Amino acid sequence: MSIELSGETRLFPIVGDPIAQVRSPKYLTEIMASRGINGIVPPVHVAPSELAGFFATAKAIQNLDGIVITLPHKIDSLAFCDRVTKRASVIGAVNVTRRMADGCFYGDNTDGEAYVSAIRNRGGEPEGKQVLQIGVGGAGSAVAYEFLAQGVATLYIFDVDAARLSQAVTKLDAVFPGRVRAAESNSPKGMDIVANVTPVGMKESDPTPVPLDELTSDMMFGDALTKPAISKTGEFARSIGCKAMAGADMFDAQAETLVNFMTDDESKFLAGFELL
């Protein structure tokens, strides 16, 4: 597979702070090349204080057709989109935008779809299940929305930020009434699926997102972390016989979806989303 670089190459940067940890530049560029798309996904390191300037510049670059957005910019990037999908509006964050023919930028949040797809790919079945989710930030809100959209019986959410948790539960309950609750603790007792959607576990010194001695072999454990490849909690869950998915599984599920969003024919794109 050859990657063409020329004056006709289209740009689809990924923006974050930090940016060194992301895998998207290589893999999304390779997916585009395999489809015959002359595009690249360069990493762009932008501090939160400079995000507005970045989007102003991006809109002025005429060969820039889309942007992948990673931490910590997913929530703040919503305001820079001209239109967004319904789920992005409910979630309050975007992780991808595309430029339309009229120059407007449309945004979506595919994090939740990717996370739940990865759970399924590793043997999990969310429908009718009791789910404990740890964390409801930008990615966490997307995962919570998708768990509910795909039919979990009850979603219990735990977050150390009480105000953020309350706001998220209120917004989700308006769309999925009676099926989402604020968890009183991070105890996984009685759960079918335990989903970590926080940075907890990236460092060796981090605590575990849930008490390890309360995990049981009939549970499934999901993790959004890509570094380390398998977290301490993920290792323990596997050691006692749990089904488990890691951040790399989520990335693999998401990569094709991101490329589709940014590069699909405009009429096909518009037919596939409920936009607000």
Give tens-digit pLDDT for 63-77. 999 999 998 999 899
Write down the CATH number for the domain with range 10-109. 3.40.50.10860
User: Do 10-109 and 112-250 share a fold?
Assistant: yes
Average pLDDT score over residue span 211-222: 98
Res. 46: pLDDT tops 90 = yes
pLDDT of residue 170: 96
**What ranges do the domains of the chain cover?**
10-109, 112-250
Res. 226: pLDDT tops 90 = no
18 Cβ contact list (under 8 Å, min separation 6): 45
Locate tokens 């405009």: which residue?
A: 266
Average pLDDT score over residue span 260-267: 91
Burial (CB count <10 Å: 0-12, 13-18, 19+), residue 80 = buried
Q: What is the pTM of this model?
A: 0.84
pLDDT of residue 22: 87
Asked if the bond preceding 209 is cis, omega within 30° of 0, the reply is no
pLDDT of residue 137: 82
Hey, which residues does 200 pair with through a beta bridge? none
Res. 142: pLDDT tops 80 = yes
CA–CA gap between residue 109 and residue 112 (Å, rounded) = 7
Average pLDDT score over residue span 231-250: 96
Phi, psi of 197 (to 5 degrees): -125, 45
CA–CA gap between residue 234 and residue 202 (Å, rounded) = 12
CA–CA gap between residue 179 and residue 169 (Å, rounded) = 10
Average pLDDT score over residue span 177-189: 98
Res. 271: pLDDT tops 80 = no
CA–CA gap between residue 39 and residue 261 (Å, rounded) = 14
Residue 268 banded pLDDT, cuts 50, 70, 90: confident
Res. 1: pLDDT tops 70 = no
As given in the structure block, the two tokens for residue 32 are 């585009």
| Residue range 82-121, pLDDT digits in tens | 999 989 999 888 999 999 999 999 999 999 999 999 999 9
As given in the structure block, the two tokens for residue 132 are 């404990």
Hey, which residues does 10 pair with through a beta bridge? 39
Class of the CATH-defined domain 112-250: alpha beta
Locate tokens 């007792």: which residue?
A: 189
Res. 196: pLDDT tops 90 = yes
**Residue 19 contacts residue 43 (beta carbons within 8 Å):** yes
Asked if the bond preceding 18 is cis, omega within 30° of 0, the reply is yes
Burial (CB count <10 Å: 0-12, 13-18, 19+), residue 163 = exposed
Residue 266 banded pLDDT, cuts 50, 70, 90: confident
pLDDT of residue 270: 81
Average pLDDT score over residue span 140-144: 93
